[in-house]
Structure 1
């Protein structure tokens, strides 16, 4: 080939995705003005998830001390986990004096305790243009919303607060959901219609992760549901820094045609810059594309794993049982 396989097939892939989005046989492109999931679909999703969901394994980065019962706030005050001692200051409680340290040094010190926190979950949903694509059962953005519902149900069953972030034309942030209505309220947030983008510049995953770095607390859990189209080195470095204090899970959502183009007769593929055109892929070109796409996805997964982020892959034709199985095989949900 005259040009590199990566550049050539990336262009073919982008054009093919645009073509399939416009000509999907099951009319997916005609439903873009409707909610991502209807009220009936949300109820069906709740029934489905309730049959397969398991209680999440404890977050190893969360405080060992846990709250019991219903809570009005995720913060508990001084807690019982000793952190350090500092010089006694007027007004400190006498019962907090570190008498052993005072005996050794001859100076009064006050014990400080680590704040007990309840683990909080943040679900970051990618709803940008590349996610509004699908060729079979559903769009990627629909499958991502369903997968997010899987985690929202888990959080509800464990009594954990959940917040949502949606990357679309703009960044949308939800309220904090907690209690029995967590699943339904989160799914209403996640299912806001997302018609084709009318903007030329979308929010970047990197920028939102910067916000998460400032906002999320030690022990929290961040779950990213995306195709990670803009995963670059800067984003990976930021994920590595975040991974030091919180647990991060990545759900890589893809459509089967992104990994293997179907042999459709008469399908005309053209590069986005118009420099070359393919009327029909030869067997050799189709095989080369399949190899390139496999390397493309494998590279994303490997780089995420290298910075400590556990990744599971979810196709638009997979059931949520597939997601549950991947999370639990070999204790993968416990690692991170």
Structure 2
């Protein structure tokens, strides 16, 4: 099994163009932004973490039998001498905030497309679906050393701004990462997400969740108190199971996977051959257990916090997975 690097920026297996993301507008029309958390199914299109969240005050009217006493407008009641009730209307839009992992480990695949390409397409579909629903679209894109956020805005322009940031991000990050002092951890990314995702937002986090730890889970817990959160776990089939007995040669690009596949230190240079001997049963077992533990941790975290959880392989059709 060999994953060969194909030359040329037009190769949609290893990079994604703005045109590809724009063309997702039509298939995204059939995607509903409604997800069930693991612990319970949710009814209604928009789920709220707080009673009254997603509602705007409209007017105060004279109290009628059956009105909730908690909705009484005491100021108007005191001024008029007659009980009045606050009336609310549902907001017709909400912020949809999409966090996209573009760290080096996402630029890998043995089949299908790069995890980074899959993440970009998932983000594009979600952004267009939000636009079709009349929601505001914003997001976060993070690399190994750079993290940037886009404030939610209305309309097609907001989607195009977000998609352009995704498609051009790999080129923009090269110089930035060269000058960066230190790497950004997943927990730092989630801490920033708490600051930028407004209460009541629908938040998608698309990642392979490498580096998730107790502190990252704490940040997810804080985020889930104010927002509806959906975790989308992106992975390559090789990450879950190595091939059966034999020696296999892989290409490690940018030194990303040499360490995890060979059990040695990180590679240097743009490419490096990695030979994996799966006849070593202990190494094979350790490798598979590592993935299983990460998947189990994510599932348990989602269940505990009431988050929706979606798995998507590099060989899956992102449109069908979201539908």
Q: Do Structure 1 and Structure 2 share a fold, with TM-score over 0.5?
A: yes
How far does residue 305 in structure 1 lie from its aligned partner after superposition? 2.2
Report the counterpart of residue 4 of structure 2 in structure 1. 25
CA distance in 1, matches of 2:230, 2:276: 40
Moved more, 169-178 or 125-134: 169-178
SS at match of 2:198: coil
CA distance in 2, matches of 1:40, 1:85: 52
- Counterparts of 1:188-267 in structure 2, within 5 Å, are 188-194=164-170, 198=178, 199=180, 201-262=182-243, 265=247, 267=249
Gaps of 5+ in 1: 1-19, 68-75, 89-93, 102-109, 326-336
CA distance in 2, matches of 1:320, 1:273: 31
Is 1:84–1:113's contact at 8 Å kept on the other side of the alignment? no
Residue 126, structure 1, aligned to residue 123, structure 2: no
- Counterparts of 1:82-97 in structure 2, within 5 Å, are 97=79
Is 1:33–1:194's contact at 8 Å kept on the other side of the alignment? no
Q: Which of residues 168, 179, 185 in structure 1 aligns to 2:161?
A: 185
Matched positions, count: 277
How far does residue 292 in structure 1 lie from its aligned partner after superposition? 4.0
1:270-305 Cα shifts (integer Å, max 9, x gaps): 42289xx98622163435533442233222222232
1:172-224 Cα shifts (integer Å, max 9, x gaps): 22243322444333211221241665457322332333333344333211111
Q: Which of residues 296, 299, 319 in structure 2 aligns to 1:298?
A: 296
Aligned-pair Cα RMSD in Å: 3.8
How far does residue 58 in structure 1 lie from its aligned partner after superposition? 1.8
Return closer, same or farther for 1:237/1:203 CA change in 2, 3 Å cut-off.
same
Residue 272, structure 1, aligned to residue 265, structure 2: yes
Is 1:221–1:248's contact at 8 Å kept on the other side of the alignment? yes
CA distance in 2, matches of 1:246, 1:65: 10
Report the counterpart of residue 282 of structure 1 in structure 2. 279
CA distance in 1, matches of 2:77, 2:298: 53
How far does residue 83 in structure 1 lie from its aligned partner after superposition? 5.5
Is 1:236–1:303's contact at 8 Å kept on the other side of the alignment? yes
CA distance in 1, matches of 2:217, 2:276: 37
Is 1:213–1:242's contact at 8 Å kept on the other side of the alignment? yes
1:239-274 Cα shifts (integer Å, max 9, x gaps): 112212210111011111111123563548242289
- Relative to total residues, which structure has the larger strand share, 1 or 2? 2
Gaps of 5+ in 2: 35-43, 61-69, 250-260, 268-273
